[in-house]
Amino acid sequence: MVDREAFPTLLRSFRERVSRSRNNLAYEVGVDPSYLTRIEHGDREPPRQHIVEALARALRLTVPERNRLLVAAGYAPVSIVQLGAWDDAFQAVADVLNDLQLSQEERDQYRAVVQLISARWHAAARAAGAALANDLATA
């Protein structure tokens, strides 16, 4: 389900964060400035995916920010699309987060655990990569 209010608010906040005018952004993306204004005011549905992606590039969004914008517009996040296929691990996480038998607090705790595991995994991978690079440099 797409939250019609989320996309305009998110787009406007990203645009304002980088101090871009609607006219300037619309010109770079190749859309009419009035169209962008109507989108930001919530008078239009989120644009097609290629426009959302062009907006993300023009605003120089990070991958997590780009994912948030795409999802707010009703599209799959780039991080999942890059995998090339659905992953059972994503389904397992989604199943827990959508389990209405769990309280919001339990789902929030689960999110925190997943984020902690991910952060530790990334740190271990970076450390291993640094050690390998050091070994190669001294060889």
Rounded mean pLDDT of the chain?
89
pLDDT 10s digits, 78-126: 888 888 888 888 899 999 999 999 999 999 999 999 999 988 887 887 7
Better-scored residue on pLDDT, 63 or 139: 63
Q: What band does 5 get if pLDDT is binned at 50, 70 and 90?
A: low
d(CA 60, CA 57): 5
Level-2 CATH architecture, domain 6-81: Orthogonal Bundle (1.10)
Better-scored residue on pLDDT, 130 or 61: 61
Global confidence as pTM? 0.76
Domain ranges of the chain: 6-81, 88-138
